[in-house]
Structure 1
Amino acid sequence: MGLPMIMVAPNGARRGRADHPALPVTTGQIADTAVACAAAGADALHLHVRDAEGGHSLDAGRYREALAELASRVPGLRVQITTEAAGIFDVATQLRCLREVQPRWASISVREVARDPDLAPQVYASCAAQGTEVQHILYDAGDIAQLKDWQARGIVRPEQEAVLFVLGRYAPGQVSFPGNLAPFRERLPGVRNWMVCAFGPQEHACLLEAARQGGALRVGFENSLSDHCNRPHPDNAASVRALRTLLESHSA
């Protein structure tokens, strides 16, 4: 088993410093975290920005500021922005964010975009026109069926095949297990560009299983704050480092 791509998701849309004192919220904190995580072995970063009160934001100006800071501080780290609605934003706002930021890489929740079927074609057409690489967020079989429908109808382009399998998001206690990966792989057996994230004490075990099957990995405080013994990680970099050590111990 070779070492896969590791993406760090350091904050997410909902958690704050009250959840963990090392969770980054400001642009400076995110950049500091990015530097530490890159040194620990992260290849990419999943970027959420916050508003002045620390709430989830899709503000284009805040994204541009953060992207510029990351490009300056960690030029070798790939950065993916989120378009997550988080129960706050509609599809029109998500589309406007994509068009105004024009990021190189963005994650898009299939179930969120499906809320507005009239705008879904514009979301994917805009990404194709401006050169934004898309990663589809998939939570369950229904999301996979929706993605396949859009692919069959040409709404999603052939080159827009990358996916993130989210394991256990709606499981009791939001806890993931390595076996949660199988249904995703069975329903999308031919996908080549896939990544996994997971929740709870078996986060790293889930990611190890994904690596064994050839997937890329997403780790970090957006998904889990603690290790397999429910001990809090000191920071995101510690989680990245522990995951990389685990992967190396199982690599050929």
Structure 2
Amino acid sequence: MFIKAAINGGRSQSEHPATPVTLGEIAADTAAVLAAGADVVHVHVRDAEGGQSIRPDELAAVLQAIRTTTPTAVVGTTTGLWTCPGPQERYELVRDWKELPDFASVAFSEEGAAETAELVVAKGMELESAVWSVDDVPPLLASRVLHDNVRVLIEPQDADPLQAVEHARTMAERLVAGGVRCPILYHGDEATVWPVLRAAVEDGRQVRIGFEDGLLLPDGTTAPGNDALVRAAAAIARRP
């Protein structure tokens, strides 16, 4: 089973002290989750104040730190609009990236997603497009770079676990019916993390796990680190 580790997102160290924020912490955590069984790592870059950033210089510093520690790591980042003032600024920042991640995520719930996805591909990165609801599926299917996706992320926003699983499966059905042939990944958030992950395993989908999505292990206890979450996900995948 393919596991993507999302090691920090917007999580703060006040929420969990092991959340990787600094260059050294992010590099060390990347190495740890890969050793625990993750295939790729998704990182949100932080600025000097701890906010999320897609500025070229700050992204380059993180990627260099990771690649110095773990040269073979496959690393991606977000292009989320919450990291910058708006879609035009987002486009210009991504355009100016010099040190490139291996892949970048683009949420089709956001304004300017299609143009950003095209830019990601044009710059030579792997693209992962994300849908948060069934309303995001038609814009993604209409994208000129639909078939350049390395995977499509399904990220249901429902707080109820059963609804999140149902919603993820509905989105997957519509994506496949619309011609998506690349791997599809499901992931939940907080209370939906493990139900959605189990549904992904049942459906033969890729999975994502990490502090960006939730802090708890399947038994409800707080995970000591991202590597523990990855090992728990791998254990679920191995169960008959």
TM over 0.5: yes
Structure 1 residues 57 and 174 mapped into 2: Cα distance closer, same or farther (>3 Å)?
farther
Q: Alpha carbons of 1:55 and 1:248: their partners in 2 closer, same or farther (altered >3 Å)?
A: same
Partner SS state of residue 81, structure 1: strand
1:142 correspondence with 2:135:
yes
CA contact (8 A) 1:201 1:229 kept: no
Residue in 1 that maps onto 2:206: 216
Give distance in 2, aligned partners of 1:33 and 1:161: 24
Match of 2:172 in 1: 185
- Aligned equivalents of 1:24 and 1:52: distance in 2? 14
Q: By how many angstroms is 1:105 displaced?
A: 0.9
What's the C-alpha RMSD, in Å, of the aligned pairs? Answer: 2.2
Tell me if structure 2 keeps the 8 A contact 1:83–1:97: no
Number of residue-to-residue matches in the alignment: 235
Native 8 Å contact 2:172 2:184 kept in 1: no
SS of equivalent residue, structure 1 residue 198:
coil
- Please say if residues 54 and 84 of structure 2, whose CA atoms lie closer than 8 Å, have aligned partners that are also in contact: no
Match of 2:4 in 1: 7
The alpha-carbon distance between structure 1 residues 239 and 141, as it changes in their structure 2 partners (threshold 3 A), is same
Matching of residues 154-233 of structure 1 within 5 Å: 154=144, 156-160=145-149, 162-167=151-156, 169=157, 171-172=158-159, 177-189=164-176, 190-191=179-180, 192-233=182-223
* Residue ranges of structure 1 left out of the alignment (5+ in a row): none
Residue 30 of structure 1 corresponds to: 26
Helix, strand or coil at the partner of 1:187: helix
- In structure 2, the residue corresponding to 1:244 is in which secondary structure? helix
- Correspondence list, 1:25-104, <5 A: 25-86=21-82, 88-101=84-97, 102-104=100-102
4+ residue runs over 3 A deviation: 172-180
SS at match of 2:81: coil
Tell me the TM-score normalised to structure 2 length: 0.88
The Cα of 1:222 is off from its aligned counterpart by 0.5
SS at match of 1:163: strand
Q: Distance in 2 between matches of 1:244 and 1:157?
A: 29
| Correspondence for 1:128 | 121
Within 2, Cα distance between the matches of 1:141 and 1:202?
18
Residues 186 and 95 of structure 1: is their aligned pair in 2 closer, same or farther, counting only changes over 3 Å? same
Q: How big is the shift at 1:126?
A: 2.3
Once residues 109 and 7 of structure 1 are traced to their aligned partners in structure 2, the CA distance between those partners, rounded to angstroms, is: 17
Structure 2: 5+ residue runs without aligned partners? none
Out of 99-108 and 233-242, give the one that drifted further. Answer: 99-108
Give the one of 78, 99, 105 matched to 1:107. Answer: 105
Q: 1:175 to 1:212 in 2, by over 3 A?
A: closer
Contact 2:78 2:106 in 1 (8 A): yes
Query: Residue 68 of structure 1: CA displacement?
Result: 1.3
